A and B are shown apart, each in its own frame.
Chain A
């Protein structure tokens, strides 16, 4: 069983929902991310989505765009992100790590080369924003051979047919994009999310993580009641951006927000 499947099974038994933070690897500096990952685990997160910086993050709002720019300014890359994940794994064998990014860095490395490197780094899942199932079967198969899950996005306008397709090809969990828009966009509508989740859950047995628009503990609590996991990204990265002159403070604000979310979700 993959580390992601085991994690969701364990959470299910405990009646808990997964708290899934997204941070961009190497933002604002390459040294910042590794200790942050460990502290996030201590704060009670269940899965870590590690963003691979890309020069042209088309599905991201300004907050995550700037995170990519800061990381790239320090020459962060897919190779270095994998090295970071491998380093994390040396002292943490429990927390699943999912790489989230865009296709071109993987194209540059080559699909097979990437799959091998991800296996060596003991990565658990890969979410490639601009690789829909129509184009992604080959890559998903290479990852599956290496027991790495491929995580697909679902959107408010995804049809039954597409949800079925993602459910078949994807594993680990499905990531529901709660609103039409980019990351960090306006507030999500809980009633809309609830209706869509009913449709999705009727089709798939995979866990569903919900993201885009989760800003605070209150939203996290509401969203936790609708799916199997809550993904929070831009709200965390804003803490980095607002404290670039005091990174200890950035880290403590991130941990503070995640702890508040954890508490609200468990209540």
Chain B
């Protein structure tokens, strides 16, 4: 199935997953968006403007860094880090917001909305909105507003209005609900920049295409630095945008293992986790069919993760498809293991990762020792840990 991979189909289906499950009022704007996306994706002028922004504003290409000391310490495969943490605003999220903002501009939209969990996507959206002079409203669960206050302040500095969402579990899924409600109310002038590879078609494919720059660069960098393709790719998966961005250009390279790391929170057995691919079931939420955390009645279950960016009950439909076909593997890492990954990278390589990315680091610590020294792992360091300083200090009993 991966020899010629051309998912999704024209209606946004990845096998049984994906699709366009939205209320009628959203169908026209989604069709309008899809038409614009299909058109500009092939427009040389659009592509060159996007490439210029990625180079001069985002700071791409991001380095592929050989973590020599950490690799030696772990005693197995050689570990390379794709340094998305070095992008402007501190994570991979800006790759996508730059692209969608250029689309919004061409579509004549004057108002931008977004949902955010950890605040990285909110910051990346507020950033591009400021640059283009567009009104920006960011929806964020009240729980996340409290645990990511630094990012809330950054968004406000950038001129965005941050709305704390008090409904449901007051986290990312509820922020997405509220953003959809805003969109349905203001469809005429508003562009909804979804931050992950979820939502109705064309979002999963469009966000993937904007994030695929990660994998394209990584592939070339592997060839340049090591003269070969890596043996495994590792990335954390919440909604799954950094993972799909890294995986996508490698899907047809069957020798490369694709490993997505979900958040196991207090452990899968505890039920307090955010691992729908590992422990969920297929269903429909937020416009697409995918694996979800839901109970027997189909009600969405509240999720848990130490990292706000992974605290989501769904996952991009393409990951659901890659799981079912066996092309990608999905594993999980608990809060405590993620913390070990966080400290290890910080002290071994002098790089403080975001708690989301720390899940990928923690799994790499398990994986690398099981591989040979001539084998190679590329880990997506999707974001930097600055935003998590308060959370970490608090855990250590330190008042900042």
Contacts and interface: CB of A to CB of B under 8 A. Distances in A.
A59 B299 CA distance: 16
A157 B25 CA distance: 7
Interface stretch (B91-99, B134-142, B221-229, B283-291): B283-291
Contacts of B22: 130, 132
B167 A130 contact: no
Chain B binding surface, main DSSP class: mixed
Contact of B177 (A58, A77, A103, A109): A58
A55 B299 contact: yes
Contacts of A153: 23-25
Nearest to B174: A56
A77 B299 contact: yes
B297 A79 contact: yes
Contacts of A182: 181, 184-185
B20 interface: yes
Contacts of B299: 53-55, 72, 77, 104-105
Contacts of B286: 56, 58
Nearest to A79: B297
Interface residues of B, number: 39
Contact of A181 (B185, B282, B289): B185
Interface string A179-218: 0111001000000000000000000000000000000000
A72 B300 CA distance: 11
Interface residues of A, number: 43
B283 A135 contact: no
A249 interface: no
A124 to B, nearest CB: 21
Given A104-B283, A104-B300, A129 B28 contact: no
Contacts of B19: 134-135
Interface string B256-294: 000000000000000000000000011111110100101
B298 interface: yes
A181 B178 CA distance: 12
A95 B295 CA distance: 32
Interface string A42-67: 00000000000111111101100100
A108 interface: yes
Contacts of B292: 104
A130 B185 contact: no
Contacts, number: 120
Given A59-B23, A132-B22, A158-B28, A77 B297 contact: yes
Nearest to A101: B298
B11 A132 contact: no
A162 B23 contact: no
B135 to A, nearest CB: 18
Contact of B187 (A108, A157, A185): A157
Contacts of A225: none
Nearest to B181: A182
A132 B24 contact: yes
B352 to A, nearest CB: 34
Contact of B284 (A77, A107, A162, A185): A107
Contacts of A78: 297-298
Nearest to B23: A59
B180 interface: yes
A180 B25 contact: yes
Nearest to A212: B25
A56 B173 contact: yes
B211 to A, nearest CB: 24
B23 A108 contact: no
Nearest to A54: B299
A104 B25 contact: no
Contacts of B186: 180
B219 to A, nearest CB: 35
A58 B297 contact: no
B168 A157 contact: no
B181 to A, nearest CB: 5
Instruction: Name which of A58, A155, A177, A180 has the most chain B CB atoms within 10 A of its CB.
Output: A58
A152 interface: yes
B298 A105 contact: yes
Contacts of B28: 155, 157-159
Contact of B21 (A55, A72, A135, A185): A135
Contacts of B187: 157, 180
Contacts of B396: none
A55 B287 CA distance: 15
A154 interface: yes
A130 B284 contact: yes
Contacts of A61: 181
Most buried by A among B24, B282, B283, B295: B24
Contacts of A257: none
Nearest to B179: A58
Interface in B282-324: 282-287, 289, 292, 294-300
B24 A108 contact: no
A156 interface: yes
Given A108-B297, A180-B185, A130 B25 contact: no
A131 interface: yes
B27 interface: yes
Given A135-B20, A182-B185, A109 B27 contact: no
A222 interface: no
Contacts of B281: 108
A132 B185 CA distance: 18
A68 to B, nearest CB: 9
Interface in B112-126: none
Nearest to A131: B21
A142 B180 CA distance: 29
A247 interface: no
Nearest to A130: B21
Contacts of A181: 25, 181, 184-185
A102 B11 CA distance: 21
15 contacts: A56-B168, A56-B300, A62-B167, A65-B167, A108-B294, A108-B296, A109-B298, A130-B287, A131-B21, A152-B24, A153-B25, A155-B28, A157-B25, A177-B24, A181-B185
